[in-house]
Amino acid sequence: MTSSRHTALATVLAIAAVALDLGTSQATSPPESWTNERVIECDGAEIRTFLTPGGFGTPFNVVGSNAVIIPKFVLVTIEGTTFLTVDVPGFDPEGANAVHCMYVDPRGFLVDFRGLRTQAPH
């Protein structure tokens, strides 16, 4: 590789490293662009979270932590009718590692889901 290619590659890798680092710290202090706040109840505890700007379908970033809650089995109730919207093959909603969470979204839909709570890498 030429020197300019090494420099370009180093720059790209540095930007990627910074982006990954920001991704793990954003839930602790979410940026202003993250407007999808959700207060969810998981296994009897109230948890303040933010979804990324992508919104529904992205992991819940737990405020004050680098933990994320990843929905794997999601039921949404709209006007009394319940829809299965996510069912990840191989995930056991009743498994020992599954968390059970629910919230009412801003449109009034009841979202009841099971997923995994994990710590994001540092």
Interval 25-82: pLDDT, tens? 445 667 787 888 999 999 999 999 999 888 877 899 999 998 999 999 999 999 999 9
Q: 37: which residues sit within 8 A by CB, 6+ positions away? A: 48, 49, 50
User: What range does the domain containing 15 cover?
Assistant: 3-119
pTM as predicted? 0.71
What is d(CA 104, CA 70) in angstroms, rounded to the nearest whole number?
17
- The tally of domains found in the chain comes to 1
Longest dimension (CA), the chain: 64
